[in-house]
Structure 1
Amino acid sequence: MAVLGLATLGLVLSNVVGIALLRDNMMGRVDRQIEQLAKVGKTKGELVFPAKPVRSDAVSELLARRLASAQLVMIFTPDGKLKADTAVDDRPVIDDLRTGVTYTVPGTADHPWRLHAVELPNGNTWVIAQSLAELEQTETSAIAIAVAVSAVTLLLIGLAANAVVRLGLRPLTRMEATAGQIARGDFARRVHARDPHTEPGRLATAMNVMLDRLQAEIAARTESETRMRRFLADASHELRTPLTSVRGFAELHRRGGDADEAMRRIEDEAARMGVLVNDLLTLAQLDEERPLDRGPVDLLEVAADTIRDARVRVPERHVRLTGLGGALAPVSVVGDEARLRQVAANLVGNALCHTPPDADVTVRVGRTDGAAVLEVADTGPGIPPEHVPRLFDRLYRVGQGRSRADGGAGLGLAIVAAIVRSHGGRVEVDTRPGAGAAFRVFLPDSEAAPSPR
């Protein structure tokens, strides 16, 4: 519509200017013609018209031959009376006769006249008049032609613009259809971009990138919601089990059962429920990304203390401390000492809990590739490959060896992963069925550690 409006404005202006120039050109030719005839009449006017009016056919024929290009010739006496003329029917209406200038006067018909008057040597006035009927007819025809041509031109421009706009909007129409399918839930749909160098092509590319990110976010959120529902169901089940036991032993005590046994079991279940609640609270605090109590921490000291605690709890198990690829040496990092001790304790406790009594547990401390490493390895049965991707999920247990009877609620490794991630590190697992498992914690060392928050 804007293109058509501009085209219309341009055609109107060009036609107005063109017709004005055409009129000026034709008016100039008329003026030059009558001025030239006026000069001839000034010198030879009395030769053309005799002193007395002659009304014979010979005079008319003479005037027709001499003044073939003029519409009208008139001679006025000094007192303003018409002496002679060549008019038949139509003639100019002269109210004020002016000499030496060319001007326009009305006529007895519907068209004006252009006239020029000169004074003759004998005192008479010679007037040459040219009818503007032909000029106005030419101007009217030019206007009609201009209007017709402009209308056809605008029609062709409109049709061409409509075709070009439809062709240009075709990619956007396809995008609209794709967007409608996406709005109906088909997030796998993508916009086809034929030429990425055009604006529709760049828009299609940007839309596809946005859709990829949107689909990834939706998939991640769906997975997160699934994990959350599973976590809530498992947590409810884990809490319901000790609560059911507490209620049962309390009922047994009320009915006069063994009071000591009932109280002991109630205390055990309460302690188990307290550990579970504390673990859940720890995960909630880590999810909130609360500031850590950072400071220098020696991983060698942390590992040694953890091993001493393990030997006190299970003195029959073989737990040893070695260096990572060399002799033992202090390994300093910047972190929250209490959290890092919890990491070491969870890994060692996990290895002791889920391996046979004759399996060895080895804790290694060292540096590699600019990172501090804490490794806990065992010689147990290992972990099946299908369970490895979900080892760090909350409340996830592997088989019967990770049942509640073994004391595991499935939160230890989730807490390890959350603490290590909050320190800017990562956890890796190396395991094969029948070849044991090795959990490696990589932390920024003291030179590359993040500043305290």
Structure 2
Amino acid sequence: MTLRRRLVLSIVALVVAVSAVIGAGSIIALASIQTGTIDSQLSKATDRASTKFGEGQQQPGGQRPNDDALAPLGQAAGTLTAYYGSGGIAAGIVINEDSSRSQLTADELQRLGQVKVGVDPATLDLGGTLGKYRVAAVQVDNPALGNAVLVVGLPMSPVYESVWSLLLVVVVVVGAALVAGSVVAAVVVRRSLRPLERVAETASAVARMPLERSDALQDVRVPDADPRTEVGRVGAAFNRMLGHIGGAMQARERSEQKVRQFVADASHELRTPLASVRGYAELTRRMGADLPEDVVYAMSRIESESKRMTSMVEDLLLLARLDEGREIQLDDVDLTGLVLDAVNDAHAASPGHVIEVDVPSEPVEVLGDAARLHQVIVNLVTNARTHTPEGTRITVGIARSGDGVDLTVRDTGQGIDSEFLPKLFERFARADSSRSRTVGSTGLGLAIVDAVVQAHGGRVEVTSEPGDTVFTVHLPVSPPSAAAEWSETPEAAPATS
């Protein structure tokens, strides 16, 4: 349940609870007041009846028209009077609305006879048409009947009618309060949470941003940053966090730029001394007739290692240039021809592997850098044959896929460890424990593949299980705008040594 819904429901529940408590209190108070009024009227009616009954009809002047002991003048409609004399004598009447009198039934007289004398008035259900009555009993002395018990009662129907009327009013008021409270609560909560929604929208926008750029968060701020409010404090803290993140990203970018510049400069500067070392080693080795055999061997090893180090330096320099958005020259490239050339070279370099080609009969062309795409294919094939034993089947295929081309390199080797897959394309990453390593590896081959493919606006994916490892390179037919801009700017030309 959302915070808005919880707040609205809480406010509505509070309004309903308060209204219900007020309504219940009003009903109880009304019933109590009405009952007290009935008791007051009952006391007066009892006094009139007991006085008249005690005087008797034999008193001079005691007999008046329509005036008798059980219904003296002044009694209201609905008043009942019953007396119980010695010897089981009982009689009772109730005054009707039209001032006529009705005799009480034996059952009603029996119920009224259970009322105790001298106690507070009580509510008694007489059933039938009479219903509930508020009754009281007193001891009287009639000259004709002697000691008797007189029971007087007034109907409770006016109280119940008032209570039910008030209950209806309370229900209507609570219902109206529920509707009004829901509307007002929804409006108030919506307006109150609007700043928090803006904070959430800003956070969502930041989550969708490409944070590779240090200036990505430069203009992102939460407008609600008033420290006097709770949401404002959240917004101010969020803005401070964005500022810290932006500063950290700029510092990281400056650090990475320095590292890239150092790698590029170091790689560039190392090419010349490495070429000299390689040249002198080769020259010394060719003079082997005048040198001891161990010296000739040492020179050959120096020459071999200088070649390997030169290859690593060239790879580092290429990665540095790709990081700077350089080294991509776009042109129409026959991808089929590049695959065939790479496979032919792999046959010569690794005759122990079974290398196959699966390409369409028609040439497949893309817009890209032929030299770099050839390097991608060579690196993937080299990776497959280097880290798999002899006899492994390697298949290089091309297939059109949607708006691009899929280049796949599949091998039937032992597969790649699943824990190593997430960092497979990182620089200097090696999976020696998951694939057999037969020759040295710099750990830069797949990093170059990923960088070149990204520079072409594509992506590299890999799936691996024992007996089936597939590298898939998806290249768009049209180059990305950034790559096109790189190829058109003078600064995009490759650096020369």
What TM bracket, shorter-length normalisation?
A: 0.3 to 0.5
Q: Over alpha carbons, which structure has the higher Rg?
A: 1
TM-score, scaled relative to structure 1: 0.46
TM-score (norm 2): 0.42
